[in-house]
Each structure stands twice: as C-alpha cells, then as structure tokens.
Amino acid sequence: MEKDMELKPGSRWKSAVCTSEVVVVRPPKTPVSLECGGQPMVALAATAPEGLELSPDFSGGTAVGKRYFDEAAGLEVLGSKAGKGSLAIDGKPLNLKEAKALPASD
C-alpha cells in the first residue's frame, strides 16, 4: 500500500480500475493509502497502472457530489466522477456522509 500519497485539500485522484474520481476536501491526519475498487488511487494527471482489476469486495460504486469520510483518519473526499469502485483507505471502506437536515422554517 502506498502511503506516500500527498492528499492535500483540492488534490484530485482517479481510480486505477474504474471511472471514479475524487477531490480531497479534508486531508488525513496521518499518511494513508486512498483506494478505489480495492486498488490505490492515482493522481488525476498520472497514468494508471495496467493489469489491475476491480475487487468484488469494493464494487459498491462511487457517486458524483457525495462526500465520503473516515472519522479516525480525518479524511474527507468528494466524488467528482462516478464509477463502479467503492472508496477505502488502507483497505477500510469510507463512510458516506449524510446531508445535514436544514431547520424547518415555519
């Protein structure tokens, strides 16, 4: 697992096994490996490695406009392009951040 990823706010990453892309909203507190579809993600401008396959364990999909987070690591990313792979860090699935309910206006 690559832990030398520079997950800075605003940095963009793409999956090596599907069409998913994300933007880092909040960086992790410690170095982690950001993964999609069971494989490490690569910088948007980089060439994805060949021969990698989508893991059935991480095929739940990534949605556009949804935020994904890991409380322990402090990482939060925003889906910028949908894909078949699901997001994880160090093999642990990221949680989908639910939208906050707006207060009722009576």
> What is the chain's pLDDT, residue by residue, as a tens digit (106 residues)?
445 678 999 999 999 999 999 999 999 999 999 999 999 999 999 998 999 999 999 999 999 999 999 999 999 999 999 999 999 999 999 999 987 777 877 6
Per-residue pLDDT, 80: 97
**CA-to-CA dists, residue 90 to 10, 66, 96, angstroms:** 21, 20, 17
| pTM of the model as a whole | 0.89
Judged by DSSP in three states, 58 sits in helix
- Eight-class DSSP state of 56: G
d(CA 73, CA 99): 20
Strands (E) across the chain are located at 12-14, 21-26, 34-36, 39-40, 42-43, 67-70, 75-81, 87-89, 92-93, 95-96
CA distances from 85 to 16, 18, 51, 91, 102 (A): 10, 6, 16, 13, 31
What's the pLDDT at 93?
A: 97
Sorted by where each begins, the domain ranges of the chain are 12-96
pLDDT, residue 106, reads: 62
